[in-house]
Amino acid sequence: MSVAENLEKVLADIRSAEKAARRAPGSVDLIAVSKTHPAEDIVPAIRAGQRKFGENRVQEAQSKWPPLKADHPDIELHLIGPLQSNKAAAAVALFDVIQSIDRKKIAREIAKEISAQNRQPRLYVQVNTGAEPQKAGIAPEDVPDFVDLCRGELGLTVEGLMCIPPVEDNPGPHFALLAQIAARCGLPLLSMGMSGDYPTAIEFGATEVRVGTAIFGERDYPATSG
Ligand SMILES: *Cc1c(COP(=O)(O)O)cnc(C)c1O
């Protein structure tokens, strides 16, 4: 199947999951995750009308997206991978949404770059719902204080939460936990659900799902972070 056909199928699945969950049609956004895929695979998705894309590496995104964004200024580019502080300037310059705020140091760097560059990417906090030691993200119990720090001391507007459940777990409880924390913090956006579990995420309240493989096919090499 072509990228355009895959995209159409994923969008149809999103619409039926919305319906099954008695949610308003169109209440869930699709972020097409194009990491590791070259621009020529992305162009058909843009032609088919997709405008929100996710990348997990700043450097890779810098090499692919500036010309595509110049051609299509309405594209919204999301950073969904861990951010190093030496890439904060580049990330603020290129991305429209940064979903992976996962520690104080990065939040500080982002705040600094937002005032230096006079750009306002939208920001989400990544939550390590499975408390996995190797995984990025704020521990669930620390999220309210961290969001307060971002909003208060750093003056950042945080709009949502993002999570990546442990691969071996049933994702439902992780999505439920993320939704519960977001409600407690007054955050309207929930980025959760990937190719294997996006209908479940929609059932638990996802406002956006991040889907790569189901649109662009298997990745040739494992995506690294950074
Ligand atoms: C790669 C990635 C995705 C997409 O995963 P698929 O299983 O290919 O749909 C979603 N979110 C994050 C953070 C990713 O790194």
CA of 30 to the centre of ligand 1 (A): 12
Residue for token pair 């989400």: 124
Three-state SS at 179 = helix
CA of 218 to the centre of ligand 1 (A): 11
Start-end of H helices in 48-103: 58-71, 88-94
What is the mean pLDDT of the segment spanning 192-211?
Answer: 98
What is the mean pLDDT of the segment spanning 180-205?
Answer: 98
Q: What is the pLDDT of residue 221?
A: 66
How many C-beta atoms lie closer than 10 Å to residue 62's C-beta?
15
- Angle, helices 143-151 vs 172-185, to 10°: value is 40
CA of 72 to the centre of ligand 1 (A): 23
Three-state SS at 88 = helix
CA dist 159 and 157 (Å) reads 6
DSSP element (H, E) containing 167: none
Q: Kindly give the number of the ligand 1 atom that is closest to the alpha carbon of 196.
A: 7
Q: Kindly give the number of the ligand 1 atom that is closest to the alpha carbon of 56.
A: 15
Q: What is the pLDDT of residue 222?
A: 59
pLDDT, tens digit, for every residue of 54-110? 999 999 999 999 999 999 999 999 999 999 999 999 999 999 999 999 999 999 999
Q: Rounded to a whole number, what is the distance in angstroms from the first to the last CA of the chain?
A: 31
CA dist 151 and 158 (Å) reads 7
pLDDT, tens digit, for every residue of 7-19? 999 999 999 999 9
pTM, 2 dp: 0.96
The DSSP code for 221 is S
Q: What is the pLDDT of residue 224?
A: 53
How many C-beta atoms lie closer than 10 Å to residue 141's C-beta?
9
Q: Kindly give the number of the ligand 1 atom that is closest to the alpha carbon of 162.
A: 13
Three-state SS at 127 = strand
What is the mean pLDDT of the segment spanning 187-196?
Answer: 98
Mutation probe of ligand 1 site: the residue of 29, 31, 56 with most atoms within 8 A of C-beta:
56
Q: Give one DSSP letter per residue of 13-27, joined into a string.
A: HHHHHHHHTT--TT-
Q: Kindly give the number of the ligand 1 atom that is closest to the alpha carbon of 198.
A: 9
Angle, vertex CA 186, rays to CA 164 and CA 30, nearest 5: 45
CA of 142 to the centre of ligand 1 (A): 24
Instruction: Tell me if 126 sits within 8 A of 163, measured CB to CB.
Output: yes
Q: Kindly give the number of the ligand 1 atom that is closest to the alpha carbon of 33.
A: 4
CA dist 33 and 52 (Å) reads 9
What is the mean pLDDT of the segment spanning 29-42?
Answer: 97
What is the mean pLDDT of the segment spanning 125-143?
Answer: 97
How many C-beta atoms lie closer than 10 Å to residue 93's C-beta?
14
- Angle, helices 39-47 vs 58-71, to 10°: value is 40
pLDDT tier at 226, thresholds 50, 70, 90: very low
CA of 35 to the centre of ligand 1 (A): 8
CA of 153 to the centre of ligand 1 (A): 32
Mutation probe of ligand 1 site: the residue of 31, 60, 194 with most atoms within 8 A of C-beta:
194
